[in-house]
Structure 1
Amino acid sequence: MRSVHIAARAEPIIVSPRSAQDGKTLGGGKVVKTGTRGGGLDGYFKITERGSNVRTEVIAGLTTFMTMAYILFLNPLILSGPDRDGVTLAPAAVLTVTALAAGLTTIAMGVFSNYPFAIAAGLGLNAVVAFQLVGGSGLTWPEAMGVIVVEGIVILILVLTKFRQAVMESVPLPLKHSIAVGIGLFIAVIGFVDAGFVTTTTQPNPPLQLGAANELQGWPIGVFLFGLLLTLFLFSRRMKGALLIGIVATTIAAVIVNEAFLDGEAFGGKANYGSIADFPSADNFDLIGNFSFGFFAELGIIAAILAIFTIMLSDFFDTMGTAIGLGREANLLDEEGRLPDIGRVLAVDSGAAALGGAFSASSNTTYIESASGIAEGGRTGLTAVVVGVLFLLSIFFSPLAQIIPFEAAAPALVIVGFLMMTNIRHVPWDDFELAIPAFLTIVVMPFTYSITNGIGASFVSFVFLKLARGKASEVHPMMYIAAAAFVVYFGIFYVRLYLT
């Protein structure tokens, strides 16, 4: 993605994470010569080379953090049930380790990879931990987190052996474009659902509806619409920092509405905190290192391996899709649709998964909400460092971090979704063998609420169509391996039934 100026997409500027002095052109744009690179932050993060500046990177970091801050109070809610021993995780402790893990891993992403990608506890993955491993399989919280630690270590090994990178490079370029489009549509759907603009009906037909009872009702919807229209207005005026201004203004509106009309109980934050500081006690850090590998004995070797495989495949391809989509939007991909130095991104992301389990925060992964900061012009690791620092500060200022309601972040997600959707023009719709897999990627991601499912549908259908047309030699060997893994993934119920 690029800055707020929509017209800028046609001719992206500095895109290479390496020096622009070699005249290399990436992402279909032109390299802008900037002369000698400065020292300090500019020199390390190559800010000027990528056509950015420190102010833009800071604004981008603030924007990304504000669209991700919901995880600080949502993760404790999801990881709240009792395990088989009746033990529950203290919400304050979960919030602390969630912020700590996100802060450390996001800073590591910025410093080590120099990309504007933020990391935090993965939604979906934390639900698997809470409802499948603990609630369904009867594991204790330490045992469930042990599964995550092992999963992260396995993926890290795949990164260090360059297997993960090889899979990413084997994906045809049009499918990479469709992954970015699918993620964009997914982000937009998340925004509409988080705001209550789209809700479920609890009926088979129709399964979804507009607002409540197919009507737009209540102050939360009103606040969301205010934020959406305001942000669209700022975008149309090409206002720098449009997303950040929209989030802040909508948060203020939510607080006012909450206090003036809803007695501070319906949604959003309260206007009058006793203190915005909330210093954690030492007990809040007790969850660090609270993991166990006893799940092998509890589940049995086969069931334990299947549990690790299911989570690992989801984590593996979620990050692949996210990195490709974000890299595409930031114009950081090369001519073949590859993200330079992708190994650094994947290494940090894999380590973050293991660290999240070790901290009892669930698997940490790269967030698609990073696209909001990219939309504000974030192009370097400094954006990620800003996000990481804000997560660390939120340990001490958790009330301030929790004041941002879903309705304030949702407009930014909808607009970012639109920006990512524009990649659809790069899909060759007249080529059946690529168009069908691309189509499945785009529709399956939002409809199943899973990046992994969309990528899996794309890979399996791509290989199938090539085989059906007698073009097996045109498929990269890694695509066969990935497609076979997805066949197992989609049929995991029957695999588990047969093996256990």
Structure 2
Amino acid sequence: MVTRVRGGLLIGIAATTIVGLPLGVSALPEGLVAWPTGIRDTFLALDFGGLWTHPQIWTVILTFAFVDLFDTAGTLVGVAGKAGLLDEQGHLPRARGALLADSLATCIGALLGTSTTTTYAESATGVADGGRTGFTSLTVAALFLLALFFGPLVQMVPAAATAPVLVLVGAFMMEPIRQIDFADPAEGIAAFLTILVMPLAFSITEGIAVGIVAYTLLRAIQRRGRVSIPLLILSALFLLRYLI
């Protein structure tokens, strides 16, 4: 990455995996190709009756929806900022399309019986290697589809090879903080808490929640209670989530 080599992260993962073979960190698979595991047991295995026999499931559904929404929003803004795709006001053009794609993937994933599908912050690695257009996304999607048939080879990669990449992703995502006005206590403290809580709580949503609530409180103190209604509503929703 320091020498601007394209695919440097992928080369690093592959090299670490190979070096780990004699050390016992990684192991050679029995084969390179395998047929993907079937989804017969999970496809359309929907239990609508459980919504009424187990009312507490509504809390789980709302929590997942809340986390998915703000994880996606936070990741989109962060990755788009790294790619230089935000406008002068810091807004993401055509964000509706990105959110629609994410929501459709979540719905389809649920019907197939997969874990929650969302936008991943690891996308910053693609941006760091020069990915900027929709063709990058299509290429990655095609490679993911192809990877289904190379499960043994993918499982060969140890966590020790991918963990450093995640650290670099965090470093990439730190670049936009230079645009934060730390001279403004409300903005600076809220941003600091957001950055601090995300890794400690292992959640983008938790960091956003703490940051927005802190920002609302500090702004209310600065302006003697005069805070925008949308900001108050958003803070109330975050607080309500913790109470539920």
Tell me which stretches of 4 or more aligned residues in structure 1 moved more than 4 Å: 471-474
Contact 2:190 2:212 in 1 (8 A): yes
Equivalent pairs, count = 244
CA distance in 2 between partners of 1:315 and 1:471 (Å): 34
Query: Partner residue of 1:244?
Result: 10
Alpha-carbon spacing, 1:272–1:292, altered in 2? closer, same or farther (3 Å): closer
Contact 2:29 2:153 in 1 (8 A): no
Q: Where do residues 190-201 of structure 1 align in structure 2 (5 Å cutoff)?
A: none
CA distance in 2 between partners of 1:304 and 1:278 (Å): 36
Q: 1:347 aligns with which of 91, 97, 100?
A: 100
* Structure 1 letter corresponding to 2:232: Y
CA distance in 2 between partners of 1:421 and 1:309 (Å): 30
Alpha-carbon spacing, 1:419–1:362, altered in 2? closer, same or farther (3 Å): closer
Q: Deviations over 1:299-332 (max 9, x none)?
A: 12xx333222222111111111111110111111
* Structure 1 letter corresponding to 2:112: F
Q: Deviations over 1:238-279 (max 9, x none)?
A: 323221211121122123433xxxxxxxx43x3252x31112
- Cα deviation for residue 380 of structure 1 reads 1.4
Query: Partner residue of 1:374?
Result: 127
Q: Given the two structures, how large is their TM-score scaled by the length of structure 2?
A: 0.92
Contact 1:277 1:396 in 2 (8 A): yes
Q: Deviations over 1:182-213 (max 9, x none)?
A: xxxxxxxxxxxxxxxxxxxxxxxxxxxxxxxx
Q: CA-atom RMSD, angstroms?
A: 1.8
> Is 2:152 aligned against 1:404?
no
Contact 1:256 1:271 in 2 (8 A): no
* Structure 2 letter corresponding to 1:484: A
Contact 1:318 1:451 in 2 (8 A): yes
> Is 2:28 aligned against 1:271?
yes
- Cα deviation for residue 386 of structure 1 reads 2.0
Give the share of equivalent positions with the same residue, in percent: 39
Query: Partner residue of 1:358?
Result: 111
CA distance in 2 between partners of 1:364 and 1:238 (Å): 31
- Cα deviation for residue 280 of structure 1 reads 3.7
- Cα deviation for residue 385 of structure 1 reads 1.6
Contact 1:355 1:363 in 2 (8 A): no
Contact 1:296 1:304 in 2 (8 A): yes
Give the match's secondary structure for 2:106.
Answer: helix
* Structure 2 letter corresponding to 1:297: W
- Cα deviation for residue 372 of structure 1 reads 1.0
Contact 1:310 1:489 in 2 (8 A): yes
* Structure 1 letter corresponding to 2:156: I
Query: Partner residue of 2:167?
Result: 414
Q: 2:23 aligns with which of 251, 257, 260?
A: 257
Contact 2:39 2:112 in 1 (8 A): no
Q: Where do residues 147-166 of structure 1 align in structure 2 (5 Å cutoff)?
A: none
Q: Deviations over 1:112-147 (max 9, x none)?
A: xxxxxxxxxxxxxxxxxxxxxxxxxxxxxxxxxxxx
Q: 1:290 aligns with which of 34, 38, 45?
A: 45
Query: Partner residue of 1:491?
Result: 243
Contact 2:70 2:208 in 1 (8 A): yes
- Cα deviation for residue 366 of structure 1 reads 0.5
- Cα deviation for residue 295 of structure 1 reads 2.0
Give the match's secondary structure for 2:174.
Answer: helix
Larger Rg: 1
> Is 2:69 aligned against 1:313?
no
Q: Given the two structures, how large is their TM-score scaled by the length of structure 1?
A: 0.47
* Structure 2 portions without partners, runs of 5+: none
* Structure 1 portions without partners, runs of 5+: 1-234, 259-266, 493-500
- Cα deviation for residue 472 of structure 1 reads 4.8
Contact 2:216 2:227 in 1 (8 A): no
Q: Point out which structure has higher relative CO (alpha carbons under 8 A, 6+ apart).
A: 1
Give the match's secondary structure for 1:293.
Answer: coil
* Structure 2 letter corresponding to 1:488: L
- Cα deviation for residue 444 of structure 1 reads 0.8
